[in-house]
Amino acid sequence: MTAPLMVDAQQVHKSFGVNEVLKGIDFQVAPGQVICLLGPSGSGKSTFLRCINHLEKINAGRLYVDGELVGYRQVGDKLHELPEKEVARKRTEIGMVFQHFNLFPHMTALGNIMEAPTRVKGEPKDDVRARAMDLLAKVGLADRARAYPRQLSGGQQQRVAIARALAMRPKLMLFDEPTSALDPELVGDVLAVMRDLARSGMTMIVVTHEIGFAREVADTVVFMDGGVVVESGPPSEVISNPQHTRTQAFLSQVL
């Protein structure tokens, strides 16, 4: 029996008022795959990412993570929205890293990483502390455990944010342009952490403008524009030899 897809989006639609942002997205991610989403601002990439962990509710279609409907249960042919508590519990299985680091300013790097596993999952503090220190070492910040966010560079804060997401032992990691708010010289350290994570077998969906990273790390590159998937395939095809004129025009501006 084959393992279920980690993400299976079937004709996903999302509107904000009269503005239809996602216009029928079909999208599959197998366990262990790294997918990079490319496209211009406003193409629906970040909205789609937020739908995957039910930060946004879809208006039509079906969205599954690891074989389970996101945000709903199906009875017959009807969908029933899950209680918020159940949604929150399932959300703990999906790590998300945003453009802005959203660290708690009054907590140290170590405290930020320990907060959710101890408070949300009720795990023993000593176990969580050991795991948090391992994660800080993994992102190259073992010596900054007691530093507060204001004492860290943007790149360091983003690496703490990645460690914080990993502390919940997620089955899927979502990255929403994690380097776009960073000074250029700080981008490399964050991408290095993400590269290591990809090599470890973590399933990842990354919204990014870092074309070199996508070319190197992605199993599949998906180009979105106007709320639809325009083109998808291996980086060697989509980035190096795009077939669609819209993809060609976009890449000619960013490469």
What are 98-144's pLDDT values in tens digits? Answer: 999 899 999 999 999 999 999 989 999 999 999 999 999 999 999 99
Residue 43 has pLDDT above 80, yes or no: yes
Residues 6+ apart with CB under 8 A from 138: 163, 166, 193, 196
First to last CA, the chain: 42
Cα 87 off chain centre by: 17
Q: How many CB atoms lie within 10 A of CB 29?
A: 22
Q: In the chain, how many H helices and how many E strands?
A: 9, 12
Considering only residues 254 and 117, tell me which one the structure prediction assigns the higher pLDDT: 117
Predicted structure pTM score: 0.94
In the prediction, which pLDDT does 88 show? Answer: 86
What is the model's pLDDT at position 61? Answer: 93
pLDDT tens per residue across span 1-36: 567 899 999 999 999 999 999 999 999 999 999 999
pLDDT of residue 2: 66
Position 236 pLDDT exceeds 90:
yes
- Taking alpha carbons only, the member of 26, 92, 80, 25 closest to residue 53 is 92
CA–CA separation, 151 and 56 (whole Å):
33
43 vs 32: CA distance, rounded Å: 26
- The kind and range of the H/E element at 248 are helix 245-254
The model's confidence at residue 85, banded by pLDDT at 50, 70 and 90, is confident
> pLDDT tier at 90 (50, 70, 90 boundaries)?
confident
pLDDT computed for residue 1 by the predictor: 53
Q: Which of 28, 34, 44, 41 is nearest to 213 (CA)?
A: 34
Share of the chain above pLDDT 70, in %: 99
Alpha-carbon torsion 1, 197, 136, 116, what sign? negative
CA 96 to mean position of chain CA atoms: 5
What does the angle CA 71 – CA 75 – CA 77 come to, to the nearest 5 degrees? 100
